[in-house]
Amino acid sequence: METIQKKAEEGVSDELKLVQAAKGGDLEAFSELVRRYDRNIFRIAQHITHNEEDAQDVVQDAFLKAYQNLEQFQGNSKFYTWLVRIAVNEALMRLRKRRNDRTVSLDEDVETDEGSMPREVADWSPNPEQIYGTSELGDILKKTIQGLPPGFRTVFVLRDIEGLSTEETAEMLGLSVPAVKSRLLRARLQLRERLARYFKSKKDGDGTR
Partner 1 sequence: MKCTEFLKELSDYLDGKITESLKAELDEHLHWCHECHVVLNTTQKTIEIYRDNQIYELPDPLRNRLHEAIMSKCRHSKPHKKNT
Instruction: Check binding of 199 to partner 1 (CB under 8 A).
Output: yes
Q: Which residues inside 88-127 make contact with partner 1, applying CB under 8 A? A: 116-118, 121-124
Burial class (CB in 10 A: 0-12, 13-18, 19+), 203: exposed
Distance CA 9, CA 4 (A): 9
Binding mask 3-42 for partner 1 (x = CB under 8 A): --------------------x-x-x--xx--xx--xx--x
Distance CA 198, CA 207 (A): 12
Backbone angles phi, psi at 86, to 5 degrees: -60, -45
Beta carbon nearer to partner 1, 9 or 133: 133
Instruction: Check binding of 51 to partner 1 (CB under 8 A).
Output: no
Q: How far is the CB of 146 from partner 1 (least distance, A)?
A: 10
Beta carbon nearer to partner 1, 31 or 176: 31
Instruction: Check binding of 202 to partner 1 (CB under 8 A).
Output: no
Q: How far is the CB of 79 from partner 1 (least distance, A)?
A: 15
DSSP 8-class letter at 157: I
Which listed residue (12, 16, 64, 177) binds partner 1 by CB under 8 A? Answer: 64
46: closest CA among 142, 137, 138, 139? 142
End-to-end CA distance of the chain: 47
Bridge partners of residue 124, in order along the sequence: 200
Q: Which residues inside 151-170 make contact with partner 1, applying CB under 8 A? A: 156, 160-161, 163
Distance CA 49, CA 116 (A): 23
Beta carbon nearer to partner 1, 60 or 77: 60
Residue 200, H or E segment: none
Distance CA 175, CA 125 (A): 37
**Binding positions for partner 1, rule: CB under 8 A:** 23, 25, 27, 30-31, 34-35, 38-39, 42-43, 46-47, 55-56, 59-60, 63-64, 67-72, 116-118, 121-124, 128-129, 134, 137-138, 141-142, 145, 156, 160-161, 163, 181, 184-185, 188-189, 191-192, 195-196, 199
